[in-house]
Amino acid sequence: MTGIRLRSTAFTDQAPIPDRYAKDGENVSPPLNWSRPPPGTEELVLLCEDPDAPSGTFLHWLVTGIDPETEGVADGAPPPGGTPHTNGFGDRGWDGPRPPVGDPAHRYFFRLYALPEHVELPERASAADVHRSLDRRSLASGTLVGLHQR
């Protein structure tokens, strides 16, 4: 499987995510940009998950159906052509980091998948559901990890 380079102008890989993007900050989604997916990509899927959450991996953002011709998403904007799903807070779309006060920094994995066909995921898909469905069928993927603590 080939890789997609996933980056943000708001933070670098393994660096703190600014408070602006946190749930108790302005709660806007961070800007992301990515390299061109491989030929044959019909759809991009974006997710953000926190594997350090006390109750298990927590889904902060899941968007399916993103136009493979796009090269990113602007600060606070939805991904072009994408369909936002319900996140772990019960909201549709992005909800930023909100780890328990006093916890060490949690890791927030932003993952972008390039898929050869449209994928159907349940409206309330968990991060595990996404991985089960996409990890083996993706043509390429990319990961960016941000850190956040309160």
What tens digit of pLDDT does each residue of 54-90 get? 999 999 999 999 999 999 999 999 998 999 999 999 9
Can you give the pLDDT at residue 123? 83
Cβ–Cβ < 8 Å for 51, 57: yes
- Residue spans per domain, the chain: 2-40+60-139
Q: For strand 32-34 and strand 2-3, is the pairing parallel, antiparallel, or unpaired?
A: unpaired
Can you give the pLDDT at residue 149? 97
Domain 2-40+60-139 listed as CATH 3.90.280.10: yes
Taking the CA atoms of residue 101, residue 21, residue 110 and residue 100 in that order, the dihedral angle to the nearest 10 degrees is 10
Q: The pTM is what?
A: 0.96
